Amino acid sequence: MTQTTVSIDRARLSPDTTCWVVTNGLAGFEMQAIGVAEALGLQPILKRVSPGAPYNWLAPWGPAAPDSQIAPPWPDLLIAGGRQAIPYARKIQRLSGGQTFTVIFQDPKVSPSKFDLVWAPVHDKLEGANVVSTLTAPNRITPEKLAAGADQLRKRYAALPERKIAVVIGGSNRVYGLSPPKMESLAKDLRALAERENIGLIITTSRRTGAEGTARLRSILQGIPHDIYDPLSDPADENPYPAMLGLSETTLVTCDSHNMVGEAATTGRPVYVIELEGGSAKFRRFIDTLYVNNIARQFDGSLERWSYIPLNATQEIASAIAQSYARTKS
């Protein structure tokens, strides 16, 4: 495991450094890039690109589609994430005369040497002199945000028992499946755990969980102390996720999201992974590495306590960018 604790001071850039974040608009990519930009002390300008055919077919290898928002003055720093953003990153790098320091998040599917710096998770096995790899992904979670979130939403959970665990439930995607039988089994395990431990369940589902799955969860948990945030039925409410992590002694999280599991591991508190049907070699490497390093354990219905050094990929990546940026500008 390569992830380490990094000084915040080493990750700061001058506040007048201009920064763009270019993505296809997917929340996961944006969250990662914004988190690192914030760790650098910057307020990035978001540029969401959505090229049509044939440009989207040709990405990341082909040219960038015309886009009026991608125009000078070029930024000092560019962070791009996602296949559709790569042609724009190459275009900006070229038209700026190499003056824009270009960072790519995730495997660009082209040679990393074409950019100033590339970040990819360890399980991608991407190698290169300018490649930074961490076990977990960058995010916007900080100790300050955990504490602030907990203070803001403490009243919401006041009726629950003093001991609380966070339960973060995703859903089916192209790699994993959350079937009705699996949801029923999980809900019954959660009910049994809450009854046995006299513990409150603070739960968030996702849009991928689906209305049917969330309804089944609510039905099985009736009568035990719990709170469910459902983005499908409560879209106007502020997502309590940071508060959940800040208030809970343990987090249970489904394995379908690299981001969700990694965010839970920023706390230094026990993380239980709820394994779903399906999977891939990359996800398996990621989850197994967490298990081997005693950061996370597979959820089997039990509840134990342990600790580890909180993972902070955001600061590590920000530090790498700041140091490399300083070298190129000196």
Q: Rounded to an integer, what distance in angstroms lies between the CA atom of residue 80 and that of residue 103?
A: 6
Query: Do 198 and 284 share a domain, yes or no?
Result: yes
Q: Rounded to an integer, what distance in angstroms lies between the CA atom of residue 155 and that of residue 76?
A: 43
182: three-class secondary structure by DSSP = helix
DSSP code of residue 209: T
Q: What is the pLDDT of residue 153?
A: 84
Task: Tell whether the model's pLDDT for residue 238 goes beyond 90.
Answer: no
| Token pair listed for 106 | 């995730």
First vs last Cα of the chain: how many Å apart?
32
Contacts of 193 (CB under 8 A, 6+ apart): 165, 199, 301, 302, 303
Report pLDDT digits (tens) over 126-154: 999 999 999 999 999 988 888 888 888 88
CA angle at 288 for the pair 284 and 294, rounded to the nearest 5°? 155
Report pLDDT digits (tens) over 178-232: 999 999 999 999 999 999 999 999 999 999 999 999 999 999 999 999 999 998 8
Report pLDDT digits (tens) over 307-318: 999 999 999 999
Query: Do 112 and 238 share a domain, yes or no?
Result: no
| Token pair listed for 253 | 């999280």
Query: Do 217 and 325 share a domain, yes or no?
Result: no
Query: Do 152 and 286 share a domain, yes or no?
Result: yes
Name the burial class of residue 118, with classes exposed (0-12), middle (13-18) and buried (19+) by CB atoms within 10 angstroms of its CB. buried
Residue 1 resides in a domain: no
Q: What is the pLDDT of residue 9?
A: 52
Q: What is the pLDDT of residue 151?
A: 86
Neighbours of 290 (CB within 10 A): 24
Query: Do 158 and 277 share a domain, yes or no?
Result: yes
Report pLDDT digits (tens) over 294-306: 999 999 999 999 9
Residue 263 resides in a domain: yes
Name the nearest CA neighbour of 326 among 5, 2, 9.
9
| Token pair listed for 33 | 């890039």
Contacts of 159 (CB under 8 A, 6+ apart): 225
Residue 23 resides in a domain: yes
Q: What is the pLDDT of residue 5?
A: 42
* 79 backbone dihedrals φ, ψ, rounded to 5°: -115, 120
Among all chains, which residue has been given the structure tokens 């099985």?
Answer: 220
For residues 284, 28, 179 and 242, what is the CA-based torsion angle, rounded to 10 degrees? 100
Query: Do 189 and 51 share a domain, yes or no?
Result: no
Contacts of 313 (CB under 8 A, 6+ apart): 3, 134, 135, 136, 137, 138, 139, 262
Query: Do 100 and 205 share a domain, yes or no?
Result: no
Q: What is the pLDDT of residue 230?
A: 92
Contacts of 55 (CB under 8 A, 6+ apart): 62, 63, 64, 65, 87
Residue 308 resides in a domain: no
What mean pLDDT is reported for the chain? 92
Residue 306 resides in a domain: no
Summarize the confidence of residues 30-57 as an average pLDDT.
96
Q: Which domain holds residue 294?
A: 143-298
Contacts of 306 (CB under 8 A, 6+ apart): 270, 294
State percent of the chain over pLDDT 70: 96
**Residue 65 — very low, low, confident or very high, per pLDDT cuts 50/70/90?**
very high
| Token pair listed for 200 | 């409150």
**Beta strands at 277-278 and 176-177: parallel, antiparallel or unpaired:** antiparallel
Q: What is the pLDDT of residue 8?
A: 44
Residue 105 resides in a domain: yes
Say what the pTM is.
0.88
Q: What is the pLDDT of residue 122?
A: 93
Q: What is the pLDDT of residue 281?
A: 92
Domain count, the chain: 2
Task: Tell whether the model's pLDDT for residue 237 goes beyond 80.
Answer: no
